[in-house]
Amino acid sequence: MQEILQYLFSGITNGAIYAVIAVGFSMLYSSTELINFAHGEFVMLGALSMVTLAAGFGWPLVPAFVLTVAAVGMAGLLFERLAIRPVRQPDHIVLIIITVGASIFLRGLGMLIWGKDAYSMQPFSDHPPIDVAGAKLLAQSIWILVIVMALTAGLHLFYRRTLTGKAMSACAVSKKAAWIVGIPTKWMVLLAFALATAMGAVAGAIIAPVTMSSYDMGTVLGLKGFCAAMLGGLGSLWGAILGGFLLGILEALGVGFVSSGLKDATAFVLLLLVLYVRPQGIIGSAEVKRF
């Protein structure tokens, strides 16, 4: 029982991070139908920026966190304006290739700025681990869960209670119809990029104290976040949350009871199963298109 609890704590912590990354994928896809394969690199930028500000420059935790999220969100705005919007024929394949190219560019930029070394930082608080039936729950894990729950509640209220959130939801249903009723669809797309990359920055900032941060960390994290989004239902906020936690827990149990070599394979095995059995994900609904 102690071992199972320990694996569950580890899985829930990792799952919360995967969930935030998956939310970024889903937010962007629901507004633009674009899958940003450079999203993992924005997670990397968030992690390394947080380490630089908090550990390198000695900034207080809250200002470092806020500036990290804001800076990476601005990078998302630049990415949309400079790489996505100028495309004359925005076919899905063309846009996906652009995001893959942006991923390679950002990874190289990260290597030039921070080098090939891995960096770490202190947890958000120095409280001792909490003992639960013999298993240890780290203080940073509690921080991660609290931040993810607050972020999820904030996004839910944003989409349900604000005009901007409702406008983004309308764009997700039909850009043409939203444009006809006066919604500035281009601004909504720009906002979607900023919010999605900001979610990546949040994931990177909260994961920085529990793992080593390096220029190449974003590739695997981005792929796992994409798998979590597909598992729960791409385009669904609650599907992304569910998929992230489910992936994290299954990954931790697979590592604990089968083999540590399954840590990275679990996500891709689940992705293949979901695509084969239920392509729309656990919560997502099958889309019907009329021609």
Phi, psi dihedrals of residue 132, rounded to the nearest 5°: -125, 100
What pLDDT score was predicted for residue 287? 53
Stated pTM of the model: 0.91
Specify whether the backbone of 89 is left (phi greater than 0), alpha (psi in -120 to 50) or beta: beta
Element (H or E) spanning 25, and its range? helix 2-32
pLDDT at 53 over 90: yes
pLDDT at 48 over 80: yes
- pLDDT tens for 113-126 read 999 999 989 888 88
Q: How far apart are CA 106 and CA 79, in angstroms?
A: 11
Where in the chain are the domains? 2-277
End-to-end C-alpha distance for the chain, whole angstroms: 55
Query: Candidates 1.20.950, 3.40.720, 1.10.3470, 1.20.58; correct CATH number of 2-277?
Result: 1.10.3470
What pLDDT score was predicted for residue 50? 95
How many CB atoms are located within 10 Å of the residue 276 CB? 8
Of 31, 2, 5, 21, the C-alpha closest to 235 is: 31
Phi, psi dihedrals of residue 89, rounded to the nearest 5°: -120, 85
Q: Residue 290 — pLDDT band, cuts 50, 70, 90?
A: very low
pLDDT at 65 over 50: yes
What pLDDT score was predicted for residue 285? 56
- pLDDT tens for 133-187 read 778 888 888 999 999 999 999 988 988 888 888 888 787 777 778 888 888 888 8
